[in-house]
Structure 1
């Protein structure tokens, strides 16, 4: 194991150690990226306003004794722990949406929005009511009983539920915030497309009965 790998492993243990003492409570790790691209990891503390925010939720963990204290100072790596999977979510709101020029009496509900769940229990918002198909990897067994006999997968479809009422308005606010993040941190080649998508979604929310 290289020195960098050992440092990364120790840092990950230190980050997750407090979680081992909790039982029946989920813990959230926030991955924050500022305007300069600096990445930090925070336990149960949302990112600062203006930062890109991604989260990873760790479910209930069994009770375990706290690790023995060691007089070793470890510098955490600048990036996320290895094999960590984060989901981009709505971060702290820093801007005020413009006031609609359409009278309230003439406004309509926002376009339909669906909350879809993937086979691994992650969720996302979609304007399409057609669930995506995903190829879920399956374990394969060789003739000698070992693994590595090839690759196989099972086709599964996401399950999507239409949102209504206050849930629909909240989801649209989250969708607009996420579009703003994607526009802010987009590569130069994607900047115009991200901006157009953000402005489209923002107009759909501003001119709706949600505002």
Structure 2
């Protein structure tokens, strides 16, 4: 008779022991709210006067260890390489030509075009004759003439621009205030042209 009683007791004890770990995985969290509305989470009951709410949660556990010899997960594909930087090309304005012109009197000057300074002169000054007159040269009208010009090499252009900039700097200290404004404006134009046409220096 005693043997029949021991068997059910042993079975009940075994069932209780098997369920013990499951109960140990449950934890209680106390959500406490004070009179000012502030909320705090505790692992012990709330203080007197606080509103208490009990939340049962499952205790987090670490993932099971990988068995020996297990292969590591394949690495994720690397992010695509960034595109190569774009090449920025800066185009300069083509160098402006400079011409040296010579007047009829033999004087020279520089110009940005090869037209030469036009001037109106009487035709008789060029040697034209009136066929109907008895006396040789007579004025029979006027015409426009231009000075002869030729284009300078770019190296000569840059040299003359630098010479003019040096002349401006020398004249600036002795110039009147009204003259300095014009010199400043001319030098700014020279500096910009030297930077574009001659690479500055």
Whether the TM-score (by the shorter chain) exceeds 0.5 is no
TM-score after normalising by structure 1: 0.35
Rg: which structure is higher? 2
Structure richer in helix, relative to its length? 2
TM-score after normalising by structure 2: 0.36
